[in-house]
Structure 1
């Protein structure tokens, strides 16, 4: 096994490596560092998140630049502010014995004039996000015309975020004879195009297989009804009392909402997304690194800067839009030689995506059941017992023992133990004793039937009106002011559709759609006899209901103008949305 000294690094860097406690190089470091030190060629390095890519390009760049010159010689582009700051801090640690070294972070959300001032003082290496870097170039605040080394870190993510044009523009201001090093976790076509357009005969190294997940992470999925997604999340958290996790949502809005719900329910949680200020993001990340937050709910973009080695679980509350993004998510855990678990909460319509992900990461998912209430109670009880057993005695309690002993002098050992543990056990038992089974069978048609606590409706709009299942669901949620999962089992046909809600809001739905017009057309909603398969083409119940006076207007509806469908989604989403009533009893706040 090679050492860092074997790779050819100089004494200043080796001393810093000893201070940092690094013992042996990772696979990507062992492969990349000798190439970058000895050659001036371009490089494409494919390796999973958490494998030490920053050191793989950081050590060679620090050794090759001239610290006695005030000219900017190295440029590192990264997709997010968090990752930009992380790389900057690591380079400063690696180069702590390189006298005269200056590394400057350039990113949005901070003073552009202060960043320009730091560069002008003499910065050998600039670490930047593409947007802010392009802005500073256009303002003539930074000169990269003489750089010798350009690094595209997390290249696939930068391209997913739409930075291709920014990267193109930035690189056009750099010398053609520079060395370009591209580091990425996956190799989609866009990354291959970057390599072809901006690199000359690059050397390619791969740690593991392209796009493949690390062996340190196991993959599980849990099949539930869409409306039970949040309850499933809470159970997974309760079933893992020592969880230290990142929970991924697709949108900033969902990220904030899930985090707020978790905090309201007594969990140690926080949100990380693009709508937060830089100061707010820094505070959240500081709390997470200090484990004051056990469950960090994040968007894919914001999570790019998370560099925490002991994350136990990644929970995919929602699967990403781009399947390849799953590789980045799961890479948040199982880092630095540790094992981790990547969990996915899916509804039945999403199971096919699991198969697609399996093909990409070349790993199989294990289907698991959401634990039931009594299983969680047992896990929590034994977790508390182990914590008590392993707790170091604080002898400051000795002076209170006499009073405590007097209080329990008539209590035997078994009864005392029961009383002690019942304090925590009773809380979970009362919450979970009547908890329903959240699991759904993955056999065909098993979740297509309407249960006793659901109502299925017919609505006289469909694909011809510009709707698919998602846009119709968005419309219904907006006009009815319902929560994300209160409308489910949406089935869109050509000229009509079906959808479900809980029976408890049936009256609200029917009342709202009594004589309801949208864009001059009546929208008819009735309770349906269809059981979810859509075979009953009429789909309506024979029972008359109030509001049937609208039947006299049938001809008016059919002859009225077109019905606005997905084209109005932006307006509908901005409609006021009331808080849904959910099963969220207060729980005592858990902190480490």
Structure 2
């Protein structure tokens, strides 16, 4: 079926479709809409994000409900506030010619009383997040006992977010004879389980293969040292001057930190995560949709409501904990028939995850090197040249041309071009002229050699007896030193002492911080050891019951030299270190 008219939709919906400029139904719409219009049955639809799933269930529901009735007949559950609002707004657009239609959004972060009042006015369709919906049912503020259609949108994401019990409780208040439509990008066993429990003989339709990524998106990965992750992100942005992207982080803290650093470095960036108020999230999304933000740094949960068709890149600053989540991330780009790129920044230890993702999405990743400084300078220069070449002349400058011509009277064309483009080129050249190569080899041998030359290994006088394991000690060190998640590594915890590594550039910061440092009433001592590798690190000599000599702090091996003396001998030079944010201010684009 090549047109919406052929799908069996009524005139009111077809008029709205014409106003929206929809021409050809997507594959999931072609497969789902005729079935849902003709039959009263359960349906499982597997399709990638951005393939038009909202219209696939929205049009049939709008056509089948009784608009003249004030009874709630349709319930749509979605994982996040953003997606809830998005679905509500789209249904209102689809039903703009359906007189008397009332679609109400129920979500956290807004007034319960106001939402309840909207429902009392007569809401034929309720779109809700599971948590708020369960709350309103318990307060008897909404009645879903007579609904005829229920939709679980982004079902896999709702289950990943821990909404299984909420969904179970909500559906328990609905009639058995309703039709349930489940839409999901992936089909993990949890989704299959909920389909089996709440649906009767569902028809399954699949667009592409299960869990497979869309063909509109290409996949790339870049291997860097963990400490260079942020520098790599900036280079990828600089190498794509017209980037309009979503940058994914795993935690709210990392999301905020990365966004703030990007803004400090002159990028048009913003953060989107669960700690923001609803008003703050709305403002960020409005700026992003208006292209005032070019790099939106987001958590997976917050990004579920992003519905922007022009996103050029998805950048995985950190891989998700659940591999299936990668499918949702990459689905943010390559939408509405456009192409997109999904980039992954990984440390060497994470490369194996790329292979796992390839098996799930059935697509191959292309390994690429982080662009060099000179490559970025060339890209930026040619981007500016193309913009200048394609710029329409604003004749409002005509009155000032005589003064400008006088200023450049003795400047020939070639020199003028050089001067003009040097304004932009020089900023990037000065920043990148001495920049290092960020790409590292996947070979364990070469990577190990590089690590050992740059690492510093420390002794610290806390261990298991103080309640630490390797993870909690690593988190403790990162928190008090205000370091990134990859800045502390090779943590080895013993009974009463431990060892850890940082890059050499952080040596002075670590040692100075722990000078006369007290924690919970006791001094915490940190000193440098000479063995920087993990093998043998901190192992006790089983025959003699003592630590290896190579892992003993210098202060113990050298006649108990004073701590300050040992630190002076170990302190590194600042000359060759460069701050991650020591770059020219990037001109903000409007």
Change beyond 3 A, Cα 1:366–1:396:
same
Name the residue aligned to 1:501: 502
Change beyond 3 A, Cα 1:586–1:546:
farther
| Native 8 Å contact 2:501 2:532 kept in 1 | no
| Native 8 Å contact 1:491 1:534 kept in 2 | no
Name the residue aligned to 1:22: 22
Name the residue aligned to 2:217: 217
1:370-405 deviation digits (Å, cap 9, x = unpaired):
111111000000000000000000011111111100
Name the residue aligned to 1:109: 109
CA–CA distance in 2 between the matches of 1:176 and 1:486?
51
| Native 8 Å contact 1:487 1:499 kept in 2 | no
| Native 8 Å contact 1:255 1:297 kept in 2 | yes
| Secondary structure of 2:448 counterpart | coil
Name the residue aligned to 1:367: 367
| Secondary structure of 2:446 counterpart | coil
1:238-294 deviation digits (Å, cap 9, x = unpaired):
000000000001111111111111001100001111111111111110110010100
Name the residue aligned to 2:586: 588
Name the residue aligned to 1:477: 478
| Native 8 Å contact 1:526 1:540 kept in 2 | no
The within-5 A match list for 1:414-563 is 414-449=414-449, 450=451, 452-459=453-460, 469-479=470-480, 481-485=481-485, 487-492=487-492, 498-510=499-511, 525-535=526-536, 537=539, 538=548, 540=550, 544-545=554-555
Structure 2 length as normaliser, TM-score? 0.91
| Secondary structure of 2:85 counterpart | helix
535-544 or 206-215, larger mean C-alpha shift: 535-544
The within-5 A match list for 1:310-389 is 310-389=310-389
238-247 or 526-535, larger mean C-alpha shift: 526-535
CA–CA distance in 2 between the matches of 1:173 and 1:420?
69
CA–CA distance in 2 between the matches of 1:193 and 1:203?
15
1:1-34 deviation digits (Å, cap 9, x = unpaired):
4311111111111111111111111010000011
| Native 8 Å contact 1:43 1:204 kept in 2 | yes
Change beyond 3 A, Cα 1:438–1:9:
same
CA–CA distance in 1 between the matches of 2:404 and 2:584?
30
Name the residue aligned to 2:294: 294
Structure 1: unaligned runs, 5 residues or longer: 553-579
200-209 or 465-474, larger mean C-alpha shift: 465-474
CA–CA distance in 2 between the matches of 1:247 and 1:87?
23
| Native 8 Å contact 2:76 2:151 kept in 1 | yes
CA–CA distance in 2 between the matches of 1:432 and 1:421?
17
| Secondary structure of 2:69 counterpart | coil
| Aligned length, in residue pairs | 564
1:31-64 deviation digits (Å, cap 9, x = unpaired):
0011111111100100000000000000000000
Structure 1 length as normaliser, TM-score? 0.90
The within-5 A match list for 1:210-289 is 210-289=210-289
CA–CA distance in 1 between the matches of 2:435 and 2:76?
51
| Secondary structure of 1:445 counterpart | helix
Root-mean-square deviation (Å): 2.4
Change beyond 3 A, Cα 1:512–1:278:
closer
CA–CA distance in 1 between the matches of 2:6 and 2:584?
57
The within-5 A match list for 1:169-208 is 169-208=169-208
**How far has the Cα of 1:353 moved from its partner?**
1.1
**How far has the Cα of 1:541 moved from its partner?**
5.8
**How far has the Cα of 1:178 moved from its partner?**
0.3
1:317-344 deviation digits (Å, cap 9, x = unpaired):
1111111101000000000111100001
CA–CA distance in 1 between the matches of 2:342 and 2:202?
33
| Secondary structure of 1:351 counterpart | helix
Change beyond 3 A, Cα 1:486–1:330:
closer
**How far has the Cα of 1:108 moved from its partner?**
1.1
CA–CA distance in 2 between the matches of 1:507 and 1:3?
67
